[in-house]
Amino acid sequence: MSISTARQYPMDFQHQVISEVKVHNRLLSDVAKQYGVSSKTVYKWVKHSETRKAENRGAIVSEIALLQQKITQLSQQLQTMAS
């Protein structure tokens, strides 16, 4: 039986640490040291945030494509009704 020693950090804290690395272009190791978090943990947070951002971008692109199709369809219906 193993006991998990993984520490849970608040999301606001994680976002603050990620921002230091991504927005303020600070070294990951420096940020980890400043906030008392392992470099491995900070790396995982940054990597996960990049993955989420890419997934969100893909979902937005798909939604835009669907909305453009709907606009085209509604425009055609409107032209048909106007004729």
Tokens for 60, please give them: 């937005």
The three-point CA angle 68-62-11 to 5° equals 130
Confidence of residue 6 (pLDDT cuts 50, 70, 90): low
Dump pLDDT digits (tens) for 10-68. Answer: 999 999 999 999 999 999 999 999 999 999 999 999 999 988 888 888 889 999 999 99
pLDDT digits (tens, 9 = 90+) for 9-24: 999 999 999 999 999 9
What is the pTM for the complete model shown? Answer: 0.61
Tokens representing 18?
Answer: 């990620």
* 17 neighbors 35 (Cβ within 8 angstroms): yes
Name the CA dihedral angle for 22, 24, 29, 33, rounded to a multiple of 10 degrees. -120
How is the chain split into domains, by residue range? 11-82
Residue of 16 and 82 predicted with greater confidence? 16
